[in-house]
Amino acid sequence: MSIRSRVGTLPAHEPFLLAGEWIPAGDRARREVIDPATQEVLTTVADATAADVDAAVAAAVAAHADRRWRGMAPLDRARILNRVADLIEADLEELAILETRDNGKPIERSRADTASAARTFRHFAGAPSRLGGSVIPIDGGAHHVYTVLEPIGPVAIILPWNFPIMTAAFKLAPALAAGCPVIAKPAEDTPLTLLRLARILQEAGVPDGVVSVLTGDGEVGAALSAHPGIAKISFTGSTEVGRLVAHAAADDFTRVTLELGGKSPNIVFEDADLDAAVLTAMRASFGHSGQMCTAGSRLLVQRSILEEMTERLAAAVRRVPVGDGLDGGITVGPLVSEEQRQRVLRYIEKGIGEGATLVAGGGTREPGFYVEPTLFSGVTNDMTIAREEIFGPVVGIIAFDDEADAVRIANDTRYGLAAGVWTRDLSRAHRMAAAIDAGTVWINTYNVFDPALSFGGVGESGLGRDLGDEGLLGFCEPKSVVIAI
């Protein structure tokens, strides 16, 4: 039964959070937030100004200097982060509905993402009391030497529109655990769950000035990226924008973590469990309408099973449920915007024009920003649809001959975010995991994440890692102390 019939009307305007105060639009420019399934206006948000950015950074710098957060006892910071997790879980259904209305994804996906956000805060709540250094003997006792880990300072996090609440937690939780003040900038299309999360942070007891959330367009992100008061930028988004962030940060040697694009290979060998491979390929390729940086959009199939797999995949694609994410039981909801839909349709036209065979899908439906799940066969790795990140429900089948050929094709990309391998041969699985240039390789599964496991890519898929110990340490600055005895 659809949830849409019982969702309420949102306020006409949502203010943003600046150093503990909720700021209405006033004379600032406003932008509409659109429901991708109905194309209706949900609410409006303001474009934060350059002065707002300066004020938020000044508040973060002050919070870092007076130690109101980093100077708090580690167990007290942990208690607040656990409280954030409790409040997310208590409000899980409403947060999930808001995420689906804001973003278009199926409600089941939104519930899972919201639960993941709570798990992430709970995981990193355990970090403050274990962020210690070590004692290092260097010269037989003439000096007492130890290291400490200190919070890096004010952090700017710039978020994508595909997983608003989950990626916010991926960055906010470790940054706050490390003791850093944070300024968060949501994607202009999907600000609503982050604004709701900001209220949860306040309710949980995060002190004023430690977290600000500034809505707006790319100018807000650009101002944060170039601001000399920011010590670290953590960005998730396209490779093109990530490059701009890195260039802006370089002038002040601001640290950056960049989680960028992908063109992930999902590789099926002839000895694989084909039922499982097909089922998971549907989720890996079409989950959240393919709007995932890890989407397995290059489906590499061993030539000996190519015909069988193509038939299986075509039948599966035609059965993928498409519709309003609030209806339940949906795999492919609308894309986030009309602009994104037109981008995806151009790639479909490009695939046909370059000689790939359109096996299924390729159409649209109204109202809403829908593109049908689309399957191409006869794709070669030099085609545009195999080279560029589409960020839509489009997958291309690429044939390979043997293990070496699969590795060659998989690594023939400027990206290196993730990969999947399907085989019953354990030795082959380990060989492939070692040979593929990617930050994560899944064997006989796909898109498995956990806050304890670091996530990020190589090549043009980014720099640094979110999550895990690596992600936490990215918000820390090591200091060595040497004392003459």
- The catalytic residues are 259, 293
C-alpha torsion 266→271→274→278, nearest 10: 0
Tell me the C-alpha distance between 324 and 326, whole Å: 5
Sign of the dihedral defined by the CA atoms of residues 95, 33, 18, 473, in that order = positive
Strands 364-365 and 143-151, bridge-based pairing: unpaired
Q: CA–CA separation, 211 vs 460, rounded Å?
A: 30
- Which candidate, 134, 150, 174, places its Cα nearest to that of 71? 150
For β-strands 143-151 and 476-484, DSSP reports them as: antiparallel
Tell the burial category of 137 from Cβ atoms under 10 Å away from its Cβ (0-12, 13-18, 19+): exposed
Q: Please state the three-class secondary structure of 241-300 as a single string.
A: HHHHHHHHHHCCCCEEEEECCCCCEEEECCCCCHHHHHHHHHHHHHHHHHCCCCCCCEEE
Stretch (H or E) spanning 398? strand 394-400
Side-chain half-sphere of 120: how many Cα atoms within 13 Å? 29
Neighbours of 308 (CB within 10 A): 12
Pairing of strands 265-268, 418-422: parallel
C-alpha 371/C-alpha 437 separation (Å) is 31
CA distances to 80, 172, 320, 478, 480 from 65, in Å: 20, 19, 53, 18, 20
